[in-house]
Each structure stands twice: as structure tokens, then as C-alpha cells.
Amino acid sequence: MFFAVISILPQMFGATTEYGITGRAVGRGQVVVHTINPRDFTADNYRRIDERPFGGGPGMVMLAEPLEQAILHAKALADEYFGSVGKDNPTCPVIYLSPQGKTLDEQTVVECSQFDGMILLCGRYEGIDERLLSAYVDGEISIGDYVLTGGELPAMVLMDSVIRRLPSVMNDDQSALEDSFVDGLLDCPHYTKPLIFKDKKVPDVLLSGHHANIAKWRFLEQVKRTKERRPDLWEQFKPTKEQAKWLAELNE
């Protein structure tokens, strides 16, 4: 999958491209990430990428022209990449990470993981000239209703959530698709060595080797936690046939 991120802080993206499962996917060439700094597309000696807002008010607004050149460069890199892998008619939307965007959820992550690539536009300051957004942006995504200092961390959250879903990025011992957020429940408790920690033992069922009982115990723990901590998720939950059987036993 192809990513081009447009940001005046390109070094931040090392957190995604150099570490962990996402870093490995980049290292293997399963994911390509280009960082593009709008400052490299400025025409003035001060390499300006922001200016005071028309109409006054606090803060600065990012200039349209350097961002336009950065986006056109990203599109050229995308064309080159898709040409090199023989992909015709690729889907590669320009996504603006913005507090005004649609709040990211697993469904949006699934939709994004089906694109051939994405051009991610990261804002700083008070935002970006509206005329640039209306000319080039296909969609806006927020990662939640809290105020950050820029779009870079949201861009990396989006990239991380998408990259982990790509086939063969997560090997089978890493829970890729059956994650609790995918089956609609919170996760169950996890235990590993030592058998006793701070006088607390591991639940016997997990030591029993009885896989059906273990699966049932884990599911019922997920249910208990989801009911307690996220009644909103519990309300939406649709059990499978087997899960419904286990739930029926619970209510006996």
C-alpha cells in the first residue's frame, strides 16, 4: 500500500516507518511511505508556509500554494509507484486529518485499508486555507473529540490501524481480524508467566488445556467487561449461535 504524508514535521513519521509491525511492513516493502514537506515547495526566501488569517483572530493559517505543490508532487509519486507495480485505475484519495472530520472507527479503517494508497494532509496552526481543501481534499478524518497540536499523530493512528489490517502484515499469532473491536466486544483479561504474581494465581480454566471451556470463559469475560465499561457497545452486540448458547447458560 502507498502512503504519501504531507507535513512540516516529516521526522515524526519515523515512529511509524521505523518501529514495530508497521516498521517491518515498510522494511519489507509491503507498505511504501513518502514524507513530503511543504516547506520544500515555497518560493520565498523565508520559506513561508503560513500567514496571518484574513479577518483577524489568533494564530496562523497554512498557505494554499506550498500545499498545492506538495499535493501535486505526492500525486506524481503515486502515479510513479502505481505504474511501477502495474496498478491501473488506482484508488488513492487525498485525506485531510482535521478536527472537523468524520471520527475514525473500525468501519472507516476497513474502508481505508481497501484503497490502493492514500495521500495524508497534516495541518498545524489554526488550519489550512479553505480554497486548498475544496480543490484537493476527498475526505476529512478526526481521531476524536479532543484538541491536539497537529494532524501528524492522527495520520499515524490512521496509518497504523490500516497497515495492521493488510494481508500478511500480521502473522497468524498476532490477533489481526478477530480483535474484540471487530467482534464488537472489549477484550478479555490476559495472563502469562509467572503462575503466581503478587500472590495472585492464573485462573484455573486457562491451565486446564480444555479449549472449549477456555473459549467460553474468555467470551464471558469479554461480555462482563463490555457490560461494565461500554454498555453502548453491549447494546449493539450480535452474538454468534455458539455465543448465544453460552449467554443463555449465563442467564439460567
Ligand X SMILES: O=C(NCc1ccc(CNCc2ncc[nH]2)cc1)c1csc2nc[nH]c(=O)c12
Interface positions with ligand X (CB under 6 A): 97-99, 123, 126-127, 142-144, 146-151, 154
Give least dist CB 66 to ligand X, A: 17
126 is catalytic: yes
39 is catalytic: no
Give least dist CB 241 to ligand X, A: 39
Give least dist CB 151 to ligand X, A: 4
| Residue with Cβ nearer ligand X (9 or 188) | 9
**Binding residue per annotation — 40?**
no
**Binding residue per annotation — 143?**
yes
Planar angle of CA 14, 19, 20, nearest 5 degrees: 145
Nearest 10 degrees: CA dihedral of 9, 12, 117, 84?
90
d(CA 90, CA 208): 50
**Binding residue per annotation — 144?**
yes
204 is catalytic: no
179 is catalytic: yes
Which cell is 244 given? Answer: 448465544
| Residue with Cβ nearer ligand X (149 or 171) | 149
Planar angle of CA 8, 144, 92, nearest 5 degrees: 55
Mapping DSSP onto H, E and C, the string for 158-186 reads HHHHHHCCCCCCCCCCCCCCCCHHHHCCC
Annotated active-site residue in 126, 130, 138, 242: 126
Annotated active-site residue in 50, 66, 164, 225: 164
**Binding residue per annotation — 71?**
no
E strand or H helix at 52: none
Active site residues: 99, 126, 164, 179
Residues making up the binding site for S-adenosyl-L-methionine: 123, 143-148
